[in-house]
Chain A
Amino acid sequence: MKRLEAVRMEQCIGCHSCSLACARLVHKKLSWNTAGIRISSAGGLTTGFEAQVCVACDPAPCAEVCPTDALKQRKGGGVIVKHDKCIKCGKCAEACPVDAIYYEPESDLPYLCIHCGRCVPFCPHNCIELREIPTYEEE
C-alpha cells in the first residue's frame, strides 16, 4: 500500500500545481480547494509553505464517524471515498485531526486525498512523493 507524503516541503515554492492537478484529474474541478493536497503559507508568504494533506490514519477517525460508509477505512491507512453514499453531515471534516478534509459548501461534499499519486509529476520541486507504507506501520 502506498500513501502520498509531503516529504520535502522546505523546497516548496507555493505554485499550487499539485492542488490544481488533483482537482483537475481526480475531482474533475477547476479549483485549488477541492483537492486532496492544499498549500498554505504559515503566516504570510515570508514563512514558507506547508501542505494540508491526509496522513493516512489507521484507524481513520473520519471513517469512524461517517454514518453511511461514504468514507471507509482503506487497508494500510487513509480512506476510500464514495460521494454517492454521502448524506452531507460534515462530521468527517470535523473529525480529521490534521484538517485534511475540505468540505465544499456548494456541492456539500468532502474532498480529500485518496493517495493515488497523480499530483506527484506536477510538482516542479520534488516536494511530494507516493511512498510505500512501511510494514511496521501496517498490522
Chain B
Amino acid sequence: MKMDPNFSRVLHVDLNTGKSKALQIEDRHMHIGGSGLAAVLYDRYGIDDAPADDPRQPLIFAIGPLTGFYPLMSKVVCGFRSPYTDEWSESHAGGRLALSIRFAGYDALMITGKAEKLSALVVGSRSCEIENVTYLRGKDVFATGKFLRRFGKKNAGHRSAIRIGQAGERGVAYACINVDSFRHFGRMGSGAAMGFKNLKGIVVSGDGSFDLPEGKAYAEMMKDIYKDITETGKMKKYHDLGTPQNLIPLNELQALPWNNLQKTQDEGVEGISGETFAEQLLLRQAACAGCPVGCIHIGLLRQQFASEHEFLYKQVSYDYEPIFAQGSMLGITNAADVLALLDETEKLGLDCMSAGVALAWAAEATEKGYISQEETIVELKFGEMKGFLEGLKFIASGENAFYQALSRGSMAAAKLYGGEDFACVLGQEMAGYATGEVFFVASAYGFRHSHLDTGGYAFDQNNTEKNADKAIEFMLEDERGRIYINCMMGCLFARGTYGPEKLKEALTAAGFQNIADNLEEAGKYIQKLRWQLKCRTGFDVDAVKIPKRFTEVVTWKGEIDTGYMDEVAQRYASAIKEMAKCGE
C-alpha cells in the first residue's frame, strides 16, 4: 500500500445499509489526523441538533499521520456525541488498535447508522464485514473478547478487538469501550455511543504493509527518537511503578481525594500505594503496540471461591486514576479490594473513574441521610468493598429508579435525591487531583473535562502565587501543545520528546512535509474547530458550575481561595468564547 500525504483515508461504514465506502478526506495539512480529523469528520457528517443517541450520529476512531512510524505514536481518538453531556467529545486509548487501523490501511473508521441486529464490525486491509452477533447480547467484556477473537484469527497478534459490555448495551452515560482487555476509551460514555448503534464490537486486522518513504532520513530519525525514549531513562518511571507512583506524593501533598473528597489525606494510602501494588500484586507489564515503554501494569487478583482451598485468579490492569476512583475515593485501603472492584467494572464495561466517583457520592448521600438502603439495595459504606461491588452491577443493570438515575451521573441523581453540593462533578465525575483552583477550573471547563486537556494540576503544584493571568496563559499554551500531540495521536507521556520542532522533523522524514510546514496554522484551526463543535452541540460556557464541595477542599496550600477560582473561571470562560467565537 502507499500513503498519500494530502488525504486521509477513512472507512465509512453505514450500519443501516450494511455498506461501506473508503473516503478520501482532502486538506490533510489542515486537519492533520487524530483529534483534528475526527473534528472535521463530525463537522461534515454529524447532526448538531439531533441528540447523542440518534443513529445518524457518527462514531469515529482516528489515528495520526505518524502512527506506526515512530515509538509512542500508539493512541487512537474516539470522537462521538457524548451520552453524558450530549456534546461533541473525545476519548483516547492505546492497546493494539492504533497499529491495527494503520496497517488495515486507514486513518480513521467512521460508523453511522444503527444495525438491525446486534453486530460486530470486522475490518482488515482487504476485508470489511458486518457480522450478526446476537448471541453476545448481555455478554460481559471478557466473554465478548473471547468470541470476537474468532474473527481475523489468521492475523492473531496483529489485530485489535474493541467491545462493550452490559453498560454500553444499556446506554449507561459513562459506559466505556474496552480495547484489547486492558485499555479503554474510558470517559464521556463512548460505550453507550457504540451501544446506540447496536454495535457490540469491532475487530481490526492490521494485515497490510506500506512502502517506506524514499531515502535514509526516516530510518535515521526513527533511530534517534527511539534512542531518546529508551536510553535517557526519562520513561523509566512509567514502566517501573507506573502512574500509581503518584499516590503517596499526592497524599503527602494533601491532594488525593478520599471518601468523596471529604478529605485529601489519609494514612491508609500505604495499603493502595504504587509500591504496595508492585510488591504484592504486580504480575507483569505490557505495552501498547509500537511503544517500547510498557506502562500497562497488570495485577494478579486471587480469589477464594469456595470454603476449601479453591482459588481462581484474574489479571486486572491498574493505574493511578482507577486506584483513586475505586480506592481512596471510596475509602478503600486494601489493594486487592481495589482490584476486585476494577475487575467487576471491567467486566460490565463501565468507566472506572466515573463509576467510582458516582458510588462515592452515593456513600456520602447515604451517610447524610439523603438516600437509604431502599434506594441503594445494598449498604454503600466507605471502606467496604462488597457493597460497592454490588453497586457497580446495579448501575450497569439499571436495577431500580435510583441506579437508573446514577447511571446518568452523580449530579443527575443528586438533582432527584438531593446532595448536589457534594457531587464531585467537573463536567463529568472528577479526576484524582485535589490540587486546587486551576485544576478544578480546567476540568470543569476543559474540552473533554479531563485532567488531560491541560496540566492544570501541574500548574497548581508548581505555583504558589495566585496569578490568574499566568494561569490562563498556561492553560491556553498547554492546550495548544497537547493538540499537536492529540492530532498525531502520540501518547502524552512522550510530549517531552515530541515538541513542535521535533514533530516537524519527524513529519518531514516520514513524508509529510506538507503537514510540517503548516503545523502552527493547523493547530489554531483545529483548536477553534473543536471548541466550535462543542459549543454548537450544546456546551454553554456561562452555565458551568463548580459544586460547593470543591470550595471546601483543604490542600497543602490551605483552603481553596474562591475569589481566585472565580477569577480564573471567568477568564477561562471568555478565552474559550474567544477561541470558539461561540454565537458567531
Residue ranges of A at the interface with B (Cβ–Cβ < 8 Å):
13-17, 20, 23-25, 28-34, 38-41, 43-46, 48-49, 104-106, 122, 124-125
Q: What are some 18 contacts across the A-B interface (CB < 8 A)?
A: A13-B284, A13-B287, A14-B287, A20-B68, A23-B209, A25-B219, A29-B211, A29-B212, A30-B69, A30-B210, A30-B212, A31-B209, A32-B289, A33-B155, A33-B206, A34-B209, A39-B157, A105-B126
- Asked if B69 contacts A40 (CB within 8 A), the reply is no
Q: How close is A31's CB to chain B, nearest CB, in angstroms?
A: 3
Chain B, residues 197-215, CB within 8 Å of chain A (1/0): the string is 0000000001111111000
Complex alpha-carbon distance, A72 and B211, angstroms = 26
Nearest-neighbour CB distance to chain B for A104, whole angstroms, equals 7
State whether A28 touches B292 (Cβ < 8 A): no
Known: A34-B209, A41-B157, A44-B146. A24 touches B222 (CB 8 A): yes
| A40 touching B158, Cβ below 8 Å | yes
Would A106 and B289 count as touching, CB distance under 8 A?
Answer: no
* B100 to A, closest residue via Cβ: A32
B126 touches A38 (CB 8 A): no
Closest to B125 in A: A106
Selected from A13, A25, A29, A105, the residue in CB contact (under 8 A) with B294 is A13
Other 10 A-B pairs with CB < 8 A, given A15-B288, A45-B182: A17-B71, A20-B68, A24-B219, A32-B99, A33-B103, A33-B208, A46-B181, A104-B209, A105-B126, A106-B209
In whole angstroms, how far apart are the Cα atoms of A10 and B210 in the complex? 30
Which residues does chain B contribute within 8 Å of A25, judged by CB atoms?
219
Contact yes or no, B207 A33, CB < 8 A = yes
Which residues does chain A contribute within 8 Å of B149, judged by CB atoms? 43-44
Q: A33-B103, A40-B157 are in contact. Are A45 and B180 (CB under 8 A)?
A: yes
Whether, in the assembled complex, B230 has its beta carbon less than 8 Å from a beta carbon of chain A, the answer is yes
Q: Which of A25, A28, A45 has the most CB of B within 10 A?
A: A45
CB distance from B120 to the nearest CB of A (A): 16
- Assess whether A124 is in contact with B294, with CB atoms less than 8 Å apart: yes
Main secondary structure of the interface of B (DSSP, over half): loop
- Chain B residue at minimal CB-CB distance from A48: B284
Q: Is B156 an interface residue (CB 8 A)?
A: yes
Give Cα A20–Cα B289 distance, bound, in whole angstroms.
10
Q: Give the contacts of B279-303 with A (CB-CB under 8 A).
A: 284-294, 296
B287 touches A31 (CB 8 A): no
Return the chain B residue nearest A32 by Cβ.
B158
- Most chain B CB within 10 A, of A14, A34, A38, A49, is at A14
A29→B218 CA distance, assembly (Å): 11
Cβ-defined contact, B69 with A45, below 8 A: no
Question: Within B217-236, which residues are at the interface with A (CB < 8 Å)?
Answer: 218-219, 222, 226, 230
Q: Which of B146, B210, B212, B230 has the most CB of A within 10 A?
A: B212
CB distance from B230 to the nearest CB of A (A): 6
Q: Contacts A13-B285, A13-B294 hold; do A24 and B212 have CB atoms under 8 A apart? A: yes
Q: With A30-B209, A31-B210, A32-B103 in contact, is A15–B126 under 8 Å at CB?
A: no
B244 to chain A, nearest CB (A): 17
Per the 8 Å Cβ criterion, residues 137-160 of B in contact with A are: 145-146, 149, 155-158
**With A15-B287, A46-B315, A124-B230 as given contacts, are A41 and B156 in contact (CB-CB < 8 Å)?**
yes
CB distance from B73 to the nearest CB of A (A): 11
The answer to whether B208 touches A106 (Cβ under 8 A) is yes
Taken together as a complex, chains A and B put the C-alpha atoms of A104 and B155 apart, in Å, by: 12
